[in-house]
Amino acid sequence: MDARVLNEVNYPAAGDRGGTPAQWVRTVDVSAENVVRIFGTTPALHGVSLDIGAGELVALLGPSGSGKTTLLRILAGLDVPTSGRVLFDGEDALKLTVQERNVGLVFQNYALFRHMTVLENIGFGLRVRPRIRRPSRREIRRRALELLDFVQLTGLEKRYPSQLSGGQRQRVAFARALAIEPRLLLLDEPFGALDAKVRRELRRWLLEIHTKTGHTTVFVTHDQEEALELADRVVVMSEGRIEQIGTPDEIYDKPNSPFVYSFIGESSVLPVRVEQGKVWLDEHPLDLAAGAVPSGPARLFFRPHDVEVGNDLPGAIPGVVQGLRRHGGARRVDLEVGGRGDRVEIELPADYSLNLSGRVAVLPRRYRLYPATTQTNLS
Amino acid sequence: MAGARGLALKRPSALPGFGLALGFTLTYLSLIVLIPLAALVLKSATLGFAGFWEIVTGARTLAALRLSFFTSLFAATVNAVFGTIIAWVLVRYQFPGRRLLDAFVDLPFALPTAVAGIALTALYAPNGWIGSWLAPLGIKIAYTPNGIAIALIFIGLPFVVRTVQPVLEEFDRELEEASATLGANRRQTVFRVMLPALLPAILTGFALALARAVGEYGSVIFIAGNLPFISEIAPLLIIIRLEEFGYAQAAAIGTAMLMISFGILLLVHLVQAWQRRRFGR
């Protein structure tokens, strides 16, 4: 796709030793085709297929053990799939070694070289190039300093990693990965080790960097908020499979499985029954359409904040208030529903008056029904 | 006395027992290390400075000291290199017999050094298994400084292996992976990323091996040949002086060794402290 011009940083492409207007190296589109990875006898990936467009920012989201990091390592060339193909711009990437793949990888724990200064860390990828492709020492220094400005750490070039904060270290790790003019940027839980405030700052910063450089970027995270906020597309993974691929809106609003519904955002679940196109809670018909869900036991998913509350709503879910908690600008209410002691959580305005043990009826404004036979991995 | 008015050294701490622990440490160190060493220095002080200087700068003493320290430095250097390689192999590769090999590394610790000396002499003597192959080539090992070096390498080996091994085991794989994704080949990763990170441990092992080698007596005297000015080590000279009832002279040579060793170890520690300051832990 388009190689984007970067005006802010005068950063020459490979081979360009002059000071001409610079551009980042052409980034690639990436495809994984039916990638299987088996460790010993344990499968970590069961045939994963994924297409990532050039310049796209994609999140691999899933709980630990979902295979997201394994997939990332395979893209980086640090791991080899048991079977399947990986293509960069349609070319077989598996034939390339890690070094040849020219992929910028940023680790959760930064993996900075402690015995090198910040500047030496950033320039490392250029210094280890074979002589013919290696820029002059001066040029390496210049580019490293430029990248240091780019990641907004001007003036810290002589520090050692131990003298930096976590957020600063992560920026150095970014700069180091960008220095090799990568065709693809891979981030493994890039903000996982940082505290919440720094994490939010760095998220915004990452978006800026991505807009400026236009690298195809894949990042791994188990933080759904991070994935939804940053990514163009989110790949939800579970137990070595892709559950759903879609834009943050699609993932959040139209989760295609109970797993995705409960993994993304907050959710309340209620066991219900579908009969004759109607949804039943015990012997109580609900004012909800069953849609295409077949008759039989089903599970009703809804978001705690997506509910209507009242005492005389016909066809609503009746509940008894079991707990009240302040939650930011709203109030969370635990409701006991039905005779089996099922509990759901709803969210109400903080000024809504409710008493413990009071009765309340709730009707989800938006919801999804899944046949009860569909397995959830979370519950 | 009220707790608040304790020693100025004592700061409020979550760890109790500072006073007791420090007291114990000082008493123990004094009994085991400081008092004997002070006695050594005191004994040599009976010679007066001129007398001390005369003995220490005597030709035979100087030759022995030079031989002791140079062969020890050489042996410790060899151990630093090969000990690191052995540690590398033991940590990084899985192969049958690895654990057995791992156990062999400690043998120089366990063996009485005299036994080691005799065994090495038997091997490297001109009529020994190895010595008989080297003799026609004009290489003499036993009964020369070469033999001393061999013995010192033997006894110093475990120190480097055992200090480098745990550090290498803990070495963060991600650093190697980061280096590879940045385009570094294996050699570049080893020499530019890993060895610098291992250097403090290698230095510690080097210092320990050196200290051990300088003081070694048992194994060396069997293989050295013990010719004054050629293959007579300082610890042997001390024994010789003792047998001549020259206690003060023996103490003087001991004091000189002590000072040189202390100087070298201090230097190693300064280098390490400087590294720590730069890189953090």
| Closest CA–CA distance from residue B9 to any residue of chain A (Å) | 28
SS (H, E, C) A339-356: CCCEEEEEEEECCCCCCC
pLDDT digits (tens, 9 = 90+) for A233-252: 999 999 999 999 999 999 99
Q: Which one is predicted more confidently, B70 or A308?
A: B70
Quote the CA–CA distance of A48 and A84 in Å, as a whole number.
8
**Predicted pLDDT of residue A194:** 84
Residue pLDDT, tens place only, A345-373: 888 888 877 777 788 888 888 888 888 86
- Please give the torsion angle defined by the CA atoms of residues A188, A194, A195 and A201, in that order, rounded to the nearest 10 degrees: -80
For residue A86, which of A39, A41, A36 has the smallest C-alpha distance? A36
Is B181 in contact with A124 (Cβ distance < 8 A)? no
CA distance B189 to chain A (A): 9
- Could you tell me if A77 lies within 8 Å of chain B, comparing CB atoms? yes
What is the distance in angstroms between the Cα of A103 and the nearest Cα belonging to chain B? 6
Whether B12 is covered by a domain: the verdict is no
Q: Give, as one character, the DSSP assignment of residue A205.
A: H
Edge-first strand listing for the sheet containing A268-275: A284-289, A278-281, A268-275, A296-302, A367-371
pLDDT at position A6 is 39
How confident is the model over A199-225, as a mean pLDDT?
Answer: 89
| CA atoms lying within 13 Å on the CB side of residue A356 | 4
Residues facing residue A348 across a β-bridge? A331
Distances (CA, A) of A127 to A132, A160, A274, A337, B258: 11, 18, 66, 65, 45
What would the pLDDT profile of A326-344 be if each residue is shown by its tens digit? Answer: 888 888 888 888 777 888 8
Structural domain includes residue B268? yes
Interacting residues of A168 by C-beta distance below 8 A, sequence separation 6+:
A153, A156
**What span, in angstroms and rounded, lies between the C-alpha atoms of A72 and A70?**
5
Q: B17 lies in a domain?
A: no
CA–chain centroid gap for B99, Å, is 25
Round the CA-based radius of gyration of chain A to a whole number and report it.
25
Checking if the pLDDT of A377 tops 70, the result is no
| Average confidence (pLDDT) over A65-89 | 93
Nearest in space to A75 (alpha carbons), one of A39, A46, A54, A104: A104
Task: Give the three-class secondary structure for B169.
Answer: helix
Q: B 153-192 residues with CB below 8 A of A?
A: 172, 174-175, 177-185, 188, 192
> B182 lies in a domain?
yes
Assign domain A30-102+181-258 to its CATH superfamily: P-loop containing nucleotide triphosphate hydrolases (3.40.50.300)
Residue A117 reports pLDDT greater than 60: yes
Check CB contact under 8 Å for A124 and B174.
Answer: no
Q: Which two tokens stand for residue A140?
A: 């390496």
Number of A/B CB contacts below 8 angstroms equals 77
Structure tokens at B53: 């200087």
**Inter-CA distances, A199 with A21, A182, A223, Å:** 33, 24, 11
| Residue A164 identity | L
- Domain of B71 in residue numbering reads as 52-279
**In a domain? residue B157:** yes
Give the total number of structural domains in chain B. 1
Residue A240 CB partners (closer than 8 Å, separation 6+): A43, A44, A45, A46, A48, A66, A67, A70
Q: Check residue A143 and give its pLDDT.
A: 93
- pLDDT for the residue numbered A13: 41
Count CA atoms within 13 Å of residue A176 on its CB side: 35
| Sequence ranges of the domains in chain A | 30-102+181-258, 266-371
The CA–CA distances, whole Å, from B36 to A175, A209, A356, B43, B93 equal 57, 66, 78, 10, 45
A145–chain B nearest CA distance, Å: 18
Low-confidence ranges of chain B (pLDDT < 70): 1-13, 280-281
Q: How far apart are CA A203 and CA A333, in angstroms?
A: 31
The C-alpha atoms of residue B237 and residue B249 are separated, in whole angstroms, by: 10
* Structural domain includes residue B47: no
- Cβ distance A75 to A86 under 8 Å? yes
In a domain, B120, yes or no: yes
Instruction: Write the CA distances from A142 to A120, A137, B132, B183, integer angstroms.
Output: 12, 9, 61, 19
In a domain, B28, yes or no: no
Helices (H), A19-135: 68-76, 98-101, 118-127
Q: CATH assignment of A266-371, given 2.40.50.140, 3.30.420.40, 3.30.460.10, 1.10.3210.10? A: 2.40.50.140
Q: Which is more confident, A350 or A307?
A: A307
Q: Is the pLDDT of residue A14 over 50?
A: no
Which residues of chain A are within 8 Å of residue B181 when distances are taken between CB atoms? Answer: 76-78, 98-99, 101, 103-105, 177
CB contact under 8 A, A129 and B279: no
Long-range CB contacts (within 8 A, 24+) of A329-337:
A330/A305, A332/A304, A333/A360, A335/A360, A335/A362, A337/A270, A337/A281
Tell me which residue of B229, B107, B105 sits closest to B162, measured CA to CA. Answer: B105
pLDDT-based confidence at residue A312 (cuts at 50, 70, 90): confident
Q: Looking at the predicted structure, is the pLDDT value of residue A8 above 50?
A: no
B30-39 per-position pLDDT tens digit: 999 899 999 9
- What CA–CA distance (Å, rounded) separates B174 from B166? 17
Tokens (6 digits) for A261: 């519904």
Interface test with B, best of A73, A79, A80, A99 (most B CBs within 10 A): A99
Contact B147, B189 (CB under 8 A): no
- Retrieve residue B206's tokens: 């080097």
Q: Per DSSP, which regions of chain A are E strands?
A: 30-39, 42-52, 57-61, 83-88, 91-92, 103-106, 184-188, 217-221, 233-238, 241-246, 268-275, 278-281, 284-289, 296-302, 307-310, 317-327, 330-337, 342-349, 359-364, 367-371
Per the CB < 8 Å rule, is B174 touching A78? no
Å between B183 CA and nearest CA of chain A: 4
